[in-house]
Amino acid sequence: MLVIGRKKGESILIGDDIEITVVKLDDGQVKLAISAPKEVLVLRKELYREVEEENMNAVAKNIDILKNIKR
């Protein structure tokens, strides 16, 4: 893993076509500008974790409840 220090306005490049720029620093929070090709997925990690959790919740051991739904 690369750990690197950057100041406001500085960037890092990943590969040929991804650029991440530090736009703003403010009391423990950093604002980044990410420029990447449209086919590249850029995602906040906590969203991925949330979907992971819901997917695990969707694994049902007992589906009898579905029989009781009135239509």
Distances (CA, A) of 9 to 2, 54, 59: 19, 38, 45
34 binds other proteins (CB under 8 A): no
Q: Are 56 and 64 in contact (CB under 8 A)?
A: no
* Residue written as token pair 């695990």: 56
Contact between 68 and other proteins (CB under 8 A)? yes
15 is a site residue for other proteins (CB under 8 A): no
Interaction between residue 4 and other proteins (CB under 8 A): no
Q: Is residue 54 near other proteins by the rule CB under 8 A? A: yes
Contacts with other proteins, residue ranges (CB under 8 A): 38-41, 43-44, 47-48, 50-63, 65-69
